[in-house]
Amino acid sequence: MLVRSIGEAAAQLRGRRLALRLSQDQLAQRAGVSRKWVYEFEAGKPHAELGHLLRVLDALDLQLDLSPRSASSQSAQGAVDLDAILERHRDG
Amino acid sequence: MLVRSIGEAAAQLRGRRLALRLSQDQLAQRAGVSRKWVYEFEAGKPHAELGHLLRVLDALDLQLDLSPRSASSQSAQGAVDLDAILERHRDG
DNA sequence: TACGGTTGACACCGAACGGTGTCACCGGCA
DNA sequence: TGCCGGTGACACCGTTCGGTGTCAACCGTA
């Protein structure tokens, strides 16, 4: 699922935690963070350390993927080569 | 690309920035963060605010995906249904 | 009724983040 | 030779993140 904001990630995290029937406390202990962190992140706190998030995602068996937004299907004719456009823009 | 650690994300981010021919300063201004943040993140600093990362990824036109780890190739016979296992474990 | 588990919500406080400013180093170019 | 842009690397400092501890509210159950 695409993560566009922290709120979306928070919803995903909370849903996953409930699906695994873990309490905030249990998840926190698994991931090595405090319950406060879990509670606040699920509440949509905009600032959170990436390292903690990765640990929590790992504890929930969730994986994070990073990919170019528009270049995912770069070979297609209709696809936009953003890199080329930007580079041309910067060169011009 | 799978993001397993901050170092991997940092490498992705740096590679993308160079591909777009952006300086650390330019990227920082685009994303609304300081050059120090960009420099330190690329250097693999383990702690970084998720909100800043999302803004930088957006400036680089990179997208973040969140998905259950074991369900990525769920149809395979050998695949493990972690959810079921965990739920059974918790129920038992 | 009482009890335990879960959750939201505080205060407190040390540690660390992030911004600003600055410096030196390096490579390209006039 | 000197200048300029990019980068790594500091110091300083205000902000705030995250952990610990605690409390009340809610719910299911004995």
CA distance A28 to A38: 6
Give residue B2's pLDDT.
Answer: 87
Q: Once rounded to an integer, what is the mean pLDDT over residues B15-40? A: 95
Q: Residue A3: how many CB atoms within 10 A of its CB?
A: 21
Which of B65, B66, B80 would you mutate first to test chain A, the one with the most A CBs within 10 A?
B66
- Chain centroid, CA A82 distance in Å: 23
Mean pLDDT of chain B: 79
Residue B84: is its pLDDT beyond 60?
no
Contact B67/A67, CB-based, under 8 Å?
no
Strand locations in chain A (E)? 2-3, 62-68
Residue B24: is its pLDDT beyond 70?
yes
- Check if residue B49 sits with its Cβ under 7 angstroms from strand C: yes
- What is the pTM for the complete model shown? 0.79
A45: Cβ–Cβ under 8 A, 6 or more apart, which residues?
Answer: A6
CA distance A85 to A81: 6
The pLDDT tens digits for A4-24 are 888 889 999 999 999 999 999
Give residue B90's pLDDT.
Answer: 42
- For residues A2 and B73, the model is more confident at A2
- For residues A85 and A56, the model is more confident at A56
Contact A69/B50, CB-based, under 8 Å?
no
The pLDDT tens digits for A22-51 are 999 999 999 999 999 999 999 988 788 999
DSSP-derived secondary structure for B34-81: -HHHHHHHHTT-S--BHHHHHHHHHHTTEEEEEEESTTTTTTSTT---
Residue B74: is its pLDDT beyond 60?
no
- Check if residue B20 sits with its Cβ under 7 angstroms from strand D: no
Contact A20/B87, CB-based, under 8 Å?
yes
Q: Which nucleotide is nearest to B27 (CA to C1')?
A: D6
